[in-house]
Chains A and B, each alone.
Chain A
Amino acid sequence: MQSARQRQQMIRILLYALLIIGAVMAMLPMIWMVSASLMPSGEASTYPPHFFPSRPTLDHYRDLFIRLNLGRNLLNSAFVAFIVTFVSLLINSLAGYAFAKMRFKGRDRVFRILSAGLILPTQVAMLPLFLLLKQMHLINTYWGVIIPGLASIFGIFLVRQYALSIPDEMLDAARVDGASEFRIFRSIVVPGIMPILATLSIWTFLATWNDFMWPLIVLSDSSHYTLPVALANLTGEHVQDTELMMAGSVLTVIPVMVVFLFLQRYYMQGVMAGSVKG
């Protein structure tokens, strides 16, 4: 009996050891990023490597904002991400609810066509989309980045899936009472699908903030760059300046970390329900 308990104790210690090693590996790059961003110039390129700054400094952050004007790019990213998140939330939830609960001719056919779009990689659309936006004079504007993100098949799917569980009786009762469709949407549907709207908005915000390829293609003027594009551009000129690049990386990652850490419950629940794709 004693040995069985000892054995279990051994296994538990082993499991914790593995968990802690995993946690260290998961966190190490992030910790080093923050640490190196606070090092005096040149300290991140010494041998043997320093892990912690000998004399922490905020010089590189000051540099980013004052000399390199990255504050502008931070605002660009925030602007683009907020607009896309709010507008797409409205558009996707209207459509998702309509597919789930409203009865109209052609519903299933339209939904099938839309679903087929899920298997198309977005890169396939990029070349003509660029030419289209060029015709509309939206290249090198924020709207060129924003507009293609304002509706998403995946978002519509997510909302539809969730809205299916709203009882029809509730909606029909409201209709009998003479409530308009929009009124029903606002006062019955939206409160009912709140959890999925929370998940979807976090997901959209993070995905838009982190997006790289499309902003890189659309934006050509550095004052219009979103943060990831500005950062990638910066590596070209300041590749030797490790500490500065780390400060830029911190600046880019911190906002999404804050959003994630405060709202992780909704986000992780959404993923675990198998509903959010990477």
Chain B
Amino acid sequence: MTAKRSSLRIPAEANTAAWFFLAPALILIGIFFFLPVAASLLLSVTDFDIYGIANPGNTRFVGIQNYSKLLHTPDFWNALKNTFYFAFVGGPLTIAVSMGAALLLNSKLVRFKGFFRTLYFTPFVTTLVAVAIVWRYLYHTRYGLFNYGLSKIGIAPIDWLGDPHWAMPAIILMAVWKSFGYNMLIFIAGLQAIPEELYDAAEIDGASGWRRFWSITLPMLAPTLVFISVITMIGYFQLFAEPYVMTQGGPLRSTTSVVLLMYEEGFRWWRMGYAAAIAFVLFVVILIATLLQFRLQKDHT
């Protein structure tokens, strides 16, 4: 195979052709992604603001001033805390629900799997802004269906989006609904890859359903679980549209996320140097979370 490959000389045209094939993608990604990312780091050490937009000459180098200001601003810590809350409560909850749904749909006892799978997956493909608006009305204290349902079982109305303690849980519930179907599909693929013989052997040994889940299913799903945890966390750290549409970051800034703060600082108040520093902190947080999860996986196996 290799001998054959090397015996066939690659003509110089092939090299040129390859770069020709790559050029559009590399130029676009270079100019519109890598260049801005690098520029973002530069921007974060300047005081680029509305005067800078009028005339970039008004911009000065300020060193790490934006970063130190950030660390001394309660609003930033609050946004970070909210984002962590969303990611570390919403993430595991989403994963648990998706795994439950995948186990249900993988059971040998049920039929119409394709039908249920499609229904469960549908929320994932919907437009986030549109469903966030729908949920805002479902959460309405007086007229919303949720509080009506709760009143039927004797629970007093909850001010879902108006109470600082409930606003984030409300957003988390919606996020779980919106995204569990995607993880569910990946879990189903993972479950289907587990060899049937393992379960047969366990059954002969008389292992109970729980026992089989803990000692076969879960360990065999570990790589899938890490993959899902990583992508779910990365996605959840980028929380933006839900609070933008449902709560505008309130009440009392209880749902202001890091990305929402970056958007407000950068694109509403045009403090772009400061906003770039926020974006970089977000990147570092995501990077650390990703590396941690891979490390956990490594320690575990």
Contact = CB atoms under 8 A, between A and B. Distances in A.
A1 interface: no
Nearest to A94: B21
B25 A30 contact: no
B64 interface: no
Contacts, number: 282
- Among A29, A246, A272, which residue has the most Cβ atoms of chain B within 10 A? A29
B133 A245 contact: yes
B279 A23 contact: no
Interface in B241-264: 241, 244-245, 259, 262-263
Given A11-B109, A49-B145, A107-B18, A44 B126 contact: no
B283 interface: yes
Given A95-B24, A181-B17, A249 B185 contact: no
Contacts of A129: 32-33, 36
Contact of A246 (B105, B127, B134, B241): B134
Chain B interface bracket (under 10, 10 to 19, 20 to 34, 35 or more)? 35 or more
A226 B261 CA distance: 23
B122 A29 contact: no
B186 to A, nearest CB: 6
Interface stretch (B7-15, B162-170, B194-202): B7-15
B166 to A, nearest CB: 18
Contacts of A142: none
A268 B129 contact: no
**Interface residues of A: mostly helix, strand, loop or mixed?**
helix
18 contacts: A19-B116, A48-B148, A49-B144, A95-B22, A98-B18, A102-B14, A123-B279, A124-B37, A124-B279, A124-B282, A128-B43, A131-B272, A172-B8, A210-B126, A212-B244, A232-B129, A246-B133, A256-B126
Closest 10 CB pairs of A and B: A128-B39, A95-B25, A181-B17, A125-B36, A151-B28, A104-B18, A249-B130, A128-B36, A228-B129, A102-B18
Interface of A: 8, 11-12, 15-16, 18-19, 22-23, 25-30, 32-33, 36, 44-49, 51, 91-92, 94-95, 97-99, 102-105, 107, 110, 114, 117, 119-132, 134, 147-148, 150-153, 156, 168, 172, 175, 180-182, 185, 206, 209-210, 212-213, 217, 227-229, 231-232, 235, 242, 245-246, 248-250, 252-253, 256-257, 260-261, 264, 267-268, 271-274, 277-278
